[in-house]
């Protein structure tokens, strides 16, 4: 790969930033589920995984109990949707993210609210 192409890809990556989106954490064995959204969706999932593994998770106690009793492999961590970057300079991505989460909440019908 040409050096100029590498530099271009690095610059584009730095300018893009993390993806905002909606996520779900589920325990199929118990039916417990949580739905949330974050401006950095992958970072949020990483944080929740870490909190659960360290027995520090307080947002969704039922998922902490499932994690403790059934183990990490019993839970699924999914990115359900990613917010498309807006071309409108006046757009509020946090408001758009709230709307996207509400649409997913309606679609799924149940899940604990995110913090």
Tens digits of per-residue pLDDT, 19-32?
999 999 999 999 99
Task: Please give the residue that has the higher pLDDT: either 91 or 33.
Answer: 33
Question: For the whole prediction, is pTM greater than 0.85?
Answer: no
Residues 21 and 39: their CA atoms lie apart, in Å, by: 6
Residue 53 lies in a domain: yes
92 CB neighbour count, 10 Å cutoff: 10
- CATH of residue 85's domain is 3.40.1440.10
Residue 79 lies in a domain: yes
Classify residue 66 as exposed, middle or buried by CB count within 10 Å of its CB (0-12, 13-18, 19+). buried
**Predicted local confidence at residue 4, as pLDDT:** 83
**Predicted local confidence at residue 113, as pLDDT:** 52
Classify residue 42 as exposed, middle or buried by CB count within 10 Å of its CB (0-12, 13-18, 19+). middle
| For residues 42-67, average pLDDT | 95
Q: State in Å, rounded, how far the first CA of the chain is from the last one.
A: 43
The percentage of the chain sitting over the pLDDT mark of 90, rounded to a whole number, equals: 68
**Predicted local confidence at residue 11, as pLDDT:** 74
Residue 74 lies in a domain: yes
Q: Which pLDDT band, with edges at 50, 70 and 90, does 52 fall under?
A: very high
Where in the sequence is the domain holding 64, given as residue range(s)? 19-108
Q: How many domains does the chain have?
A: 1
């Amino acid at each position: 790969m040409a050096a100029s192409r590498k530099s271009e890809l690095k610059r584009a990556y730095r300018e893009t930033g993390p993806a905002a989106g909606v996520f779900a954490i589920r325990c199929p064995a118990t039916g417990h589920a949580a739905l949330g959204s974050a401006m950095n969706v992958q970072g949020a999932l990483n944080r929740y995984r870490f909190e659960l593994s360290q027995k520090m998770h307080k947002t969704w106690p039922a998922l902490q109990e499932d994690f403790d009793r059934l183990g990490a492999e019993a839970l699924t961590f999914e990115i359900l949707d990613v917010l498309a970057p807006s071309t409108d300079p006046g757009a509020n991505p946090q408001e758009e993210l709230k709307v996207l989460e509400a649409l997913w909440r309606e679609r799924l019908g149940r899940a604990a609210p995110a913090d």
